[in-house]
Amino acid sequence: MAMTAAAGHAHADPHHIGVVIEHPGPASKRIVTAYGFWIFLLSDIVMFSCFFAAYAVLSGQTAGGPKGSEIFEQGNVAIETVCLLLSSFTCGMASIAADVRNRFWFYLGMTVTCVLGLIFLVIEFREFADLVARGYGPSRSAFLTAFFSLVGCHGLHVSAGVLWLLTMMAQVFAKGFRADVLRRMMCFALFWHALDIVWVGVFSVVYLLGSAA
């Protein structure tokens, strides 16, 4: 990036006193893709915040049904959290492996990530199924509505992430570490880590605060 003295352009840029940092031109594809995907992630997080807000508003509205502390099971949630946090780590390993074009570690990292994601989903699914079986489904009360929606929305994202993960493995298998595949891999990693962050929010706001109340 060139630092240019303003004097040369003074006639065109009358407001500048001092130095101008000249803009070097369009960014590389990798940067543009990552940037755009970041912006998508931010908008996705705005959507999550709406469900968080709805949960905050409705969490006391149990309409005679169960409260959070009566239905949350700390043990399960702890396992879920560990799975997800670990999977972020293995996903990071896979990203590094992709960067150094090491197929073995890439497949290994992705497979472990996938398995951890699936374990998370299974536990969550069983929690939901169990609640519904006890008559505490989402239509029981506004609190349960908000709970199922917020946690379910995160779960849907994880499911989509697992599908995407499998597609990434297939793409690397079929096409190798091509530039566009690597860009997609970078987006996938961002997505997966973002889900982790959202889960930390869900964990604290729903399960920790909910069990305390």
Its sign, for the CA torsion 208, 211, 212, 213, is positive
Shortest separation between residue 14's beta carbon and other proteins, angstroms: 9
Shortest separation between residue 4's beta carbon and other proteins, angstroms: 9
Shortest separation between residue 57's beta carbon and other proteins, angstroms: 5
Is 60 or 74 the residue whose CB approaches other proteins more closely? 60
Is 88 or 147 the residue whose CB approaches other proteins more closely? 147
Residue type, 72: F
Q: What is the dihedral of CA 87, 152, 183, 27, to 10 degrees?
A: -120
Shortest separation between residue 12's beta carbon and other proteins, angstroms: 3
Is 167 or 204 the residue whose CB approaches other proteins more closely? 167
Is 106 or 148 the residue whose CB approaches other proteins more closely? 148
Shortest separation between residue 148's beta carbon and other proteins, angstroms: 8
Binding-site ranges for other proteins (CB under 8 A):
9, 11-13, 15, 20-27, 31-32, 35-36, 39-40, 42-44, 46-47, 50-51, 53-54, 57-58, 61-63, 138-143, 145-146, 148-149, 167, 171, 174-175, 180, 184
